[in-house]
Structure 1
Amino acid sequence: MDDSEDERYRAPALDKGLDILELLAGVDGGLTQAEIAKKLDRSPNEFYRMLDRLVRRGYVTRLDGDRYSLTLKLFGLAQLHAPVRRLVSYATPLMRELAETSQQANQLVVFDRGSAVVIGQQEAPNYWGISIRVGSHISLFDTGSGHVLLAFRSQEERQMMISEHVRSTDNTAQPPEFFARLDQIRERGYEMMASMQTAGVYNLSAPVRSSDGKAIAALSIPYITVVNAPSAPDITRTIELLLATCEKLSRLAGSAVGSST
């Protein structure tokens, strides 16, 4: 579609509503009507009716009377997407078993429209563990899950995913060493890296694969050494448990969701 056709089919009200939702999705604590208008370079009066409709439809809520924040309605709609539901339903019992055997938390992550998104989370069975909220968006570039999602895709697909991710974040293109690391991960079959977000944590990540070998998801363990649990598996054994779980989940889910991912 060229620029003239794009202008011909503009829907200003829809664009305005989507601009608000996309803006609120990237902030914590909400924004006032004036702050929304300033960030979108528009007049505050332009957004009053749109914000009112979004609140009434349940996509946005008002905090402390004058701040607007997203609700979980959009995430709930996304969860209705059949392939994601199937993948989570297959993964849940296996993730629960993995948490019990490894004594570590684990998360299931997929790539969606420029972001790595957590779609499943299993708590550690004991007191200590690292949790990431379901629905969280994480980086492709500095997380084990992001690395795995990129590593087990073709070169062309990697570039498309990275381009989408860069457009949707403040990240910039990565150096050649980054792509060399992805190739190493693919050859090894998993990622193990010190967390770039939390000290003392190692990200252990492996792919859930479709029938053609591509990563449809990454299953990750934020591994911590628990000093008061001497029976807990060490990091080498935990990687073995993670890989075995991913193999099971790939057999269960690969043919069911691979063609839709």
Structure 2
Amino acid sequence: MDNDENDRYRAPALDKGLDILELLAGIDGGLTQAEIAKRMGKNANEFYRMLDRLVKRGYVTRLDGDRYSLTLKLFGLAQLHAPVRRLASYATPLMRELADQSKQANQLVVFDRGAAVVIAQQEAPGYWGISIRVGSHISLLNTGSGHVLLAFRSAEQRAMMMREYEETGEAGGEQKADLLERLDQIRERGYEMMPSVQTAGVVNLSAPIMGPDETAIAALTIPYITIINNPAAPNISQTIQLLLKTSQQLSKLAGLDVRPDA
């Protein structure tokens, strides 16, 4: 097909908007309108209305008044895409195995528009366990899942995620300096372990599911409770090792085009 045929259905405004998104996706710290125009070889006035619409639709945000940067809206939309749905599907047998071995419930959580959202969960095999409904929105700043989703992202992505969280109107969480220090500790340790802020007697154990770009696309969390009527139940240290093993297996799935019959 020749170039004339390729250009028959051109949509210049759409192309311009996509060009801006693709440019900003590869830039840390954002660009001014003049810098965007220079990199794209266009006049800055050509992009004013387009940038304004992208800001109003939530795809782009203004930093320090004159710099434009991507928000995480595209990332949130991606959570609805087939790869994440496949991840939840492929995670089910591994989550079931984790529940059987640990004697604890577990859940798979992703970030979506300012919240941590449960996309899959597995009941504990015994009588006792803490379960959260699929589709539940949980706090980003004071849960193990939220901490892990923040810890294994870039500093810029963390800031955007927390900004979107604040825009949801949710309150609470650690002070920013303390939280950032904690996130660095989680990243170095490889997982989060924290008493539940919502339920007494529960310790949230959370580990990241890493994508091909080496950032967390999901968190796998066990709301750990001490089981006193089953001496064979793994202790908390053993449960952490089971959690990390499963999260590493899921990370491999997230980085590969795995087929159902593989």
The Cα offsets for residues 128-175 of structure 1, whole Å up to 9 and x where unpaired, read as 000000000001111000000000000000001111111012337842
- Displacement of 1:213 in angstroms is 1.4
> What amino acid sits opposite 1:185 in the alignment?
I
Counterpart in the other structure of 2:72: none
SS of 1:248's equivalent in the other structure is helix
CA contact (8 A) 1:117 1:136 kept: yes
Where do residues 81-230 of structure 1 align in structure 2 (5 Å cutoff)?
Answer: 81-171=81-171, 174-230=175-231
The Cα offsets for residues 220-259 of structure 1, whole Å up to 9 and x where unpaired, read as 00000111111000000000000000000100123459xx
Alignment length, in residue pairs?
A: 189
Distance 1:192 1:153 in 2: 18
Listed as ranges, the gaps of 5+ residues in structure 2 are 1-47, 58-77
Distance 1:194 1:255 in 2: 34
Length-normalised TM-score, structure 2? 0.67
CA contact (8 A) 1:204 1:222 kept: yes
> What amino acid sits opposite 2:180 in the alignment?
F
> What amino acid sits opposite 2:213 in the alignment?
D
Counterpart in the other structure of 1:50: none
CA contact (8 A) 2:209 2:248 kept: yes
CA contact (8 A) 1:166 1:172 kept: no
Distance 1:170 1:238 in 2: 31
Distance 1:176 1:238 in 2: 30
Distance 1:195 1:108 in 2: 17
Distance 2:134 2:238 in 1: 26
Distance 2:169 2:222 in 1: 25
Counterpart in the other structure of 1:31: none
CA gap of 1:79–1:218, structure 2 versus 1, over 3 A, is closer
- Displacement of 1:79 in angstroms is 8.8
Distance 2:125 2:148 in 1: 25
> What amino acid sits opposite 1:135 in the alignment?
G
> What amino acid sits opposite 1:87 in the alignment?
L
Counterpart in the other structure of 1:236: 237
Distance 2:255 2:234 in 1: 28
CA contact (8 A) 2:186 2:192 kept: yes
Length-normalised TM-score, structure 1? 0.67
The Cα offsets for residues 59-109 of structure 1, whole Å up to 9 and x where unpaired, read as xxxxxxxxxxxxxxxxxxx99631221111111110000000000000000
> What amino acid sits opposite 2:88 in the alignment?
V
Task: Please tell me the root mean square deviation across aligned C-alpha atoms, in Å.
Answer: 2.6
> What amino acid sits opposite 1:243 in the alignment?
L
SS of 2:255's equivalent in the other structure is helix
